């Protein structure tokens, strides 16, 4: 299923118990990184379980445009023959990242270390998102923006560094995208590139760089932070990557399983990297029954089978330092909080304002239009849970896949159906969301 030009509205209505096993697609963060690191390696990279959503397919196209050989060899199976560190060729046409901030910002980092110029572009949502956060450190490393939209936004032309300089960089916000861009540029720089983060963000880039042969260390910094150092100019060699199921996509069936009475569902091979499991921690604090079995590890990434059973939830307070480990999950947590008894306070959500949409405002609007009492106080979101949700609202998705999926999950347990104005963007991260949820018993029409 892919996005068409026309909006595709959909209703979700109160459903009977959700039951059965559902395979959630591959992790988006790991899929982008496997393609990019494969392209920067010498030799063959084989990827299984790649997320074949539009965001990742755009990254695959950009790797081809930069000179790597990228082929689909079967369902979710891909093979990459890379060009080696700093080996990208000048692309003949603009690189279009569609809706994906991750694809765009990580490839900016990879291009910044090569002596080539590339034009970066994306859809209206991506064109409105801040890029300076990545371009500022890349400029310190020697890359230059020669043309850009207002405020340094897309479309922009990035001239990579002829002689990239290694830097020590303290990220101004906890962002794996900023960290990854600096590390990917640092691959081409002689000497040690260091990134210091005050709060640890997802570490898939570090784990995968190690898997592909880079020398990289990560040490604690302060109470919640990390200091990551990598030796530049490594010989990266192609590797096998098994992509686990995306916990940020699993979040939707997980919350659906909790709020739809009588549900009992199984989600195999969900990645359980602790820097991604803030939602599971929070839901358990709310009283959720989520069991982990079949725990295993592949290429440094832990994964487990999740069993989720419908549960009575209660409101909780979510501390700000948990935000990086569940940054993409607040929308669907807000849905869970609406069905809980009591108030849920989610603190420190400033980064939600610069995602695919302003997710702080969009989440509040989604709840309000469905009869839930919600407030935004500074960077905090406060949801008054009453154990049930009236529903009946029309939710504006704002070109944001996660708003569409969260609203549809809400409709499965609400008093009246919940309508979303456009489901097309779901294809960016979870192309089979609708059939997969239907296979568990979800009623969409
Ligand atoms: C991502 C990092 C996060 C997250 C995004 C994926 C990644 O963004 O929101 O969906 O793969 O590095 P920030 O690093 O900007 O917080």
Tell me the per-residue pLDDT of 415-431, one tens digit each, with 9 for 90 and over: 999 999 999 999 999 99
- Whose C-alpha lies nearest to ligand 1, atom 11? 29
180 neighbors 205 (Cβ within 8 angstroms): yes
CA dist list (Å): 132 to 137, 280, 304, 314? 9, 32, 37, 40
How much is the pLDDT for 4? 53
**Ligand 1 geometric centre to CA of 336 (Å):** 22
How much is the pLDDT for 2? 44
Tell me the per-residue pLDDT of 91-126, one tens digit each, with 9 for 90 and over: 999 999 999 999 999 999 999 999 999 999 999 999
Report how far residue 218's alpha carbon sits from residue 155's, in angstroms, rounded to the nearest whole number: 34
Active site residue 75: no
Whether the CB of 246 sits within 6 Å of ligand 1:
no
Closest CA to 342 of 385, 312, 299: 385
Q: What is the pTM of this model?
A: 0.97
- Among 121, 246, 328, 400, the one annotated catalytic: 328
- CA 78 from chain centre, in angstroms, equals 20
Spatial strand order of the sheet with 418-420 comes to: 394-395, 418-420, 10-13, 443-444
| Mean per-residue pLDDT, 144-168 | 97
How much is the pLDDT for 1? 40
How much is the pLDDT for 299? 78
- Whose C-alpha lies nearest to ligand 1, atom 13? 175
Report how far residue 323's alpha carbon sits from residue 377's, in angstroms, rounded to the nearest whole number: 16
320 neighbors 292 (Cβ within 8 angstroms): no
DSSP alpha helices (H): ranges in 113-242? 124-127, 132-140, 176-186, 204-211
44-48 and 77-81 as β-strands: parallel, antiparallel, unpaired? antiparallel
Tokens of 168: 């020590």
| Confidence band of 7 (pLDDT split at 50, 70, 90) | confident
Q: Which atom of ligand 1 is least distant from the CA of 32? A: 11
Give, in degrees to the nearest 5, the angle at Cα 30 between 24 and 32. Answer: 110
Q: Position of tokens 């944001």?
A: 400
**Ligand 1 geometric centre to CA of 325 (Å):** 10
- Whose C-alpha lies nearest to ligand 1, atom 10? 328
Q: Which atom of ligand 1 is least distant from the CA of 248? A: 10
Give, in degrees to the nearest 5, the angle at Cα 267 between 77 and 341. Answer: 140
| Mean per-residue pLDDT, 337-364 | 97
How much is the pLDDT for 231? 98
CA atoms in the 13 A half-sphere facing the CB of 120: 37
């Amino acid at each position: 299923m892919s996005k068409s030009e026309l909006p595709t509205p959909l209703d979700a209505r109160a459903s009977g118990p959700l039951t059965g096993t559902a395979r959630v697609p591959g992790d988006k963060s790991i899929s982008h990184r496997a393609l990019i690191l494969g392209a920067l390696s010498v030799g063959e990279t084989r990827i299984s379980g790649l997320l074949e959503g539009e965001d990742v397919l755009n990254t695959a196209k950009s790797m081809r445009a930069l000179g790597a050989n990228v082929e689909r060899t079967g369902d979710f199976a891909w093979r990459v023959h890379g060009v080696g560190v700093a080996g990208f060729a000048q692309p003949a046409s603009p690189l279009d990242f569609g809706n994906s901030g991750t694809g765009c910002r990580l490839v900016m980092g990879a291009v910044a270390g090569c002596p080539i110029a590339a034009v970066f572009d994306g859809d209206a949502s991506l064109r409105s998102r801040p890029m300076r956060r990545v371009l500022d450190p890349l400029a310190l490393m020697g890359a230059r923006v020669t043309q850009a939209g207002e405020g340094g936004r897309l479309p922009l032309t990035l001239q990579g560094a002829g002689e990239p300089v290694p830097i020590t960089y303290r990220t101004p916000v906890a962002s794996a995208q900023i960290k990854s861009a600096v590390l990917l540029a640092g691959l081409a720089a002689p000497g040690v590139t260091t990134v210091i983060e005050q709060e640890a963000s997802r570490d898939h880039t570090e784990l995968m760089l190690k898997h592909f042969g880079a020398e990289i260390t990560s040490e604690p910094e302060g109470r919640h932070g990390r200091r990551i150092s990598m030796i530049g100019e490594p010989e990266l060699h192609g590797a096998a990557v098994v992509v686990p199921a995306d916990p940020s996509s699993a979040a939707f069936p997980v919350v659906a399983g909790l709020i739809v009475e009588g549900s009992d569902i199984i989600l195999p091979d969900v990645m359980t990297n602790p820097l991604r499991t803030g939602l599971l921690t929070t839901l358990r604090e709310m009283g959720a029954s989520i069991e982990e079995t079949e725990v295993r590890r592949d290429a440094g990434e832990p994964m487990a089978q999740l069993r989720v059973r419908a549960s009575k939830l209660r409101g909780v307070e979510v501390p700000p330092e948990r935000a990086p480990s569940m940054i993409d999950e607040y929308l669907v947590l807000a849905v869970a909080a609406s069905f809980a008894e009591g108030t849920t306070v989610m603190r420190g959500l400033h980064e939600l304002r610069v995602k695919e949409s302003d997710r702080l405002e969009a989440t509040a609007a989604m709840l309000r239009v469905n009869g839930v009492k919600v407030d935004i106080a500074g960077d905090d979101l406060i949801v008054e849970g009453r154990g049930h949700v009236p529903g009946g609202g029309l939710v504006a998705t704002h070109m944001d896949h996660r708003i569409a999926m969260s609203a549809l999950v809400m409709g499965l347990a609400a008093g009246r159906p919940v309508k979303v104005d456009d489901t097309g963007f779901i294809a960016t991260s979870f192309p089979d969301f609708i059939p997969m949820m239907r296979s568990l018993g979800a009623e969409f029409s």
